[in-house]
Amino acid sequence: MKAEYVRTIVQLALTEDIGDGDITTDNLIPQPSRSKARLIAQAPGIICGLSVAREVFKTLNPRIVFRTLVEDGQKVRPGQVIAIISGPTRILLTGERVALNFLTHLSGIATTTRTYVQAVKPYKTAIMDTRKTTPLLRQLERYAVRQGGGVNHRFNLNDMVMIKDNHRVFCLPGIPEAVGRLKLKTRAAIEVEVDNFDQLKEALRSTADIILLDNMTPAKAAQAVKIARRAKSRALLEASGGITPENIKRYAATGVDRISIGALTHSPRILDISMELE
C-alpha cells in the first residue's frame, strides 16, 4: 500500500467521523489527562490493518505511542492483546471508532480469505479477489486479501482485458478474432468469460490467457477442465460465481487453476476487536 494513499483515506475518515469536534470527549475529559489503551481480539481470526489503525492515532497526535504485539497476517485468539496505545486520553477516545472500523473490517477480510485458502490447501488452486470492493478502499482490501493468503485479481480496468458477457455482442465475427485484434493492441493478459460449453470451446480456439467459468456447478467445471485438456489449451481456467466455504473444495478438486470470490471483499464478517482503557 502506498503511504500517501493510507494517509489520505485516514484523513477523510477522521474528517467524516469527527466533524466539527468530539463534543462528548472534549467536554468530559480534562485536556492534560493521559491514558493507556489495549486493542483486544474478541474472536479468533487473522489480524490485518494495524498500520492503518496506527496512522489514525498518529494523524490526531504524532506523539501517540502505538506498540503492536502481533503482525498483520497473524492468527489471534479471543482475549489476546494485539496492540497497546499510550497518549492523551482525548486522542485515544476520539480516534477509537475510526481505528477499529479499519481494523475490524480488514481483519474480517483476511480471516474470510484464510478460511477459503485453508479449504483448498490440498490443491494448487489460487484464491483470488475481484473488483467488488468498497469504493476508494480497494488498496486496503486487496492488502487484506493477501494477508489472508489470497491472490489479487486485476486492480482496475487498465490492468488486463476481460471480455465479459456484455462485451460478447461486440466480438464479431467471434471470440478468436476479437482476442486476436486485442493482442495487436495491448500486451495485457486477456481473460474471456464463458457460461456454457459452446462458449468455452470458442474461447479455447482463441489465444486468450485465461478463461473464466462463470456460475458453473462443480460438475460442469470438472467437465470444462476435461474439455480444455483435450484441446491442449495453455489458458488458465478460473471458476467464479456461487462459490461458498461449503462447496469451494469441490471446485478446487475439478482442477481449475484459480477461483475468484467477490464475497472476500463485498460481504466479509468483521473480526470483533475492542479498545479498553486501563
- Give the active site residues: 97, 132, 164, 193, 214
Residue 143, H or E segment = helix 138-147
Query: Which cell numbers hold the place of 11?
Result: 484523513
From CA 239, how far away is CA 235, in angstroms rounded? 13
DSSP annotation of 151 reads B
Q: Cα separation of 44 and 118, whole Å?
A: 15
Least Cα distance to 249 among 134, 121, 157 occurs for 121
- Round to whole Å and give the CA distance between 119 and 252: 9
Helix (H) or strand (E) holding 128: strand 126-128
One-letter amino acid of 161: V
Q: Distance between CA atoms of 36 and 278, rounded to whole angstroms?
A: 6
Inter-CA distances, 40 with 44, 98, 104, 145, 274, Å: 11, 16, 11, 22, 5
